[in-house]
Amino acid sequence: MTDTTASTENAAIVGREDLHDIEAILSVVGSDEGEVIRAVKDNADALFTWNYEKGERPALNRLYEKAKTSMWNGETDLDWSIEVDQEAVVVANAAGAGGLGPEMDLAGTPFEKWTEKEWLQVGIESQNWMLSQFMHGEQGALLCTAKIVETVPWIDAKYYAATQVMDEARHVEVFAKYLDTKLSGHYPLNAHLGLLLDDIIEDSRWDMTYLGMQIMVEGLALAAFGFIHQLTTEPLLKQLLRYVMSDEARHVAFGVLSLKEYYAELSDTEMKERQEFAFEAAVRMRDRFLQQEVWARMGLDVKEVLPLVMAAPERAMFQSMLFAKIVPNCKKLGLLDRNDGWLRQKFTELGVIQFEDWADTAEEYEMFALAEGEVASQQA
Ligand SMILES: [Fe+2]
Ligand SMILES: [Fe+2]
């Protein structure tokens, strides 16, 4: 493929020729500041099925049975009495400034005059921003999964999706409570994440909800939660993420197991549409992690800051790790290789193809399951 073809395709799919075009990335701005409701048109048909044969899809049935016994209670299983000193956490974890830090040579940049005070503040803002986006993303998952209950034609999948709706309600609840009682401020929905959630919800094809949410958004969430779970020294957040991840791994498995069957039947043209959708989602998620709203709130010129953020080595590592689950799952679904490896080429361009042979999530969810006794409310 020539570069011109690649740029034309990029322009058609994500609205810009160069994936790293900062002006174009920044031209997407959020519109939810100060609003209470965001309305998105859902164009899909709700399907009844008269085939009630439970267990026709044994893997989905197993997942459903597992989900029924894996529920935890965000109010009582988490120790909300733990006091969180956000400043101390930011300092202890030396994290959260988008991969930039005082140890780097930032002479001649907008950070030149920053003292410890600003670095601490940006760490706090980044944490508020990150957890806010997790919370909004969880609500996206709540809506998408409720939609899957309606649109998927298989009874085993409707049953499973119903358990996931409950899981997602719990996730929204615990992230919102953590933000409100332990952190120091909210951010509205990031514009790039918003574009992606709108695309997923507006699409009339039931499998696109799965692809956008279960494979892409939740695949990324599983990797991001894992990363932060490992990194954080804050015991309440660590426990919260542990619980959420045990559910999230099942959700991604649900996506992989359902789409594996469906995608095996699709034509090249139909698969190409899915490949393009996966690519678009990947770019939106990459863009959102540039956390443009944080730099703006710190009073910086975002256009000046983003090239530095994009070049920060630590951020590049974090950003590519976010795709550690998505890429192998796309491979398992045939999305990397169909149509002469179109998506493989695009993931190469994005710098994330190195994960293709990592473990996929179809079976891996067992590994994330909570051990017996790990959650009080699961005891009979
Ligand atoms: Fe979730
Ligand atoms: Fe989920």
Confidence of residue 6 (pLDDT cuts 50, 70, 90): confident
Ligand at shortest distance from the CA of 145: 2
User: Residue type for 178, please?
Assistant: Y
Cα 295 from Cα 302, distance rounded (Å):
6
Mean pLDDT lowest for which of 52-61, 127-136, 166-175, 368-377? 368-377
For all residues of the chain together, what is the average pLDDT? 92
CA 12 – ligand 2 centroid, Å: 30
pLDDT at 98: 66
Q: Which whole number is the average pLDDT over 353-378?
A: 84
pLDDT at 22: 86
CA 76 – ligand 2 centroid, Å: 20
Cα 302 from Cα 282, distance rounded (Å):
22
Ligand at shortest distance from the CA of 254: 2
Non-local (6+) Cβ contacts of 172 within 8 A are: 135, 138, 139, 142
- pLDDT tens for 250-304 read 999 999 999 999 999 999 999 999 999 999 999 999 888 889 999 999 999 999 9
CA 168 – ligand 1 centroid, Å: 5
CA 294 – ligand 1 centroid, Å: 23
Confidence of residue 96 (pLDDT cuts 50, 70, 90): low
User: Residue type for 75, please?
Assistant: E
Cα 270 from Cα 275, distance rounded (Å):
9
- pLDDT tens for 212-253 read 999 999 999 999 999 999 999 999 999 999 999 999 999 999
H helices present in the chain, as ranges = 3-14, 22-26, 58-68, 86-93, 116-151, 155-182, 191-202, 206-209, 218-231, 235-263, 268-288, 292-297, 302-311, 313-321, 326-332, 338-350, 365-368
CA 52 – ligand 2 centroid, Å: 25
Cα 88 from Cα 85, distance rounded (Å):
5
Cα 33 from Cα 172, distance rounded (Å):
19
- Residue that is written with structure tokens 């996206």 in the block: 140
CA 169 – ligand 2 centroid, Å: 10
pLDDT at 31: 76
Cα 26 from Cα 11, distance rounded (Å):
15
Spell out which residues have Cβ within 5 A of ligand 1, the ion. Answer: 138, 141, 168, 171
Q: Coil, strand, or helix at residue 373?
A: coil
- Tell me the two tokens of residue 49: 């099925």
Cα 162 from Cα 56, distance rounded (Å):
17
Q: Which whole number is the average pLDDT over 83-102?
A: 82
